Amino acid sequence: MSTAPATPGDYSRVPDPERALKYAVQHIAGDRAEIVEGVITPMSPSWAHENATDLIREQIGPRMRELGLRAGSGNLDLPGSENWYIPDMAVVPAELAKTEGALLPDQTVLVVEVTSPSNSDTDRTVKRRRYAQYGAPLYLLVDRQENSCTLFSQPARLGYTRVEGPHPFGIPVRLPEPFDLDLDTSDF
């Protein structure tokens, strides 16, 4: 029995193209690559980018420990889509932080994305929409190109129904329950 050769770009013979794509990004593309709308995107954050994330982690750290939460940039899978994200920071319950595989956005307490010149539109639109669709309760967008922070909450199928901001850097951003604290944005 012979089979016709595969044609490049023809995935009709692949039984589960979503699974194959996500396997490729995990095992071939490397630890710091994500899939955004089907496109494998390597990640290489700058020091300024990492600084903003670290400042957030420092400020919410004491409250996270009180609540039994952990922060990191582990993988988030969006099943049924060609998306596999590595957020700049996700806050999750401590038990889930021990998971070897990917988590789902609705398992997070907070997702933070910090824009870079190469990905700012993705963080502002695509990821905002997808995080809402997949139930991430809070999405904090630190927009370094616009020098502002926006907090999105109350996720729904078509997007977040509550938007706080954009607030210029220097104006505190209120993180609601379970954090219940003001985030100092002056050094972002």
In whole angstroms, what is the distance from residue 111 CA to residue 150 CA? 12
In a domain, 95, yes or no: yes
State the pTM of this model.
0.87
Digit-by-digit pLDDT tens for the chain (188 residues) are 444 445 655 555 656 777 777 776 666 655 678 888 888 888 778 899 899 999 999 999 999 999 999 999 999 999 999 999 999 999 999 999 999 889 999 999 999 999 999 889 999 999 999 999 999 999 999 999 999 999 999 999 999 999 999 999 999 999 999 999 999 999 99
Total number of domains in the chain: 1
Domain of residue 155, CATH code: 3.90.1570.10
pLDDT value of position 52: 96
Q: Is residue 4 part of a domain?
A: no
Is the Cβ–Cβ distance between 52 and 77 less than 8 Å? no
58 found inside a domain = yes
The answer as to whether 111 is a domain residue is yes
pLDDT of residue 27: 62
Let me know if residue 137 belongs to a domain: yes
CA 57, CA 72: separation in Å to the nearest integer? Answer: 9
Which structural domain, as residue segments, surrounds residue 114?
A: 46-183
Q: Considering the domain boundaries, does residue 119 fall inside one?
A: yes
pLDDT at 35: 86
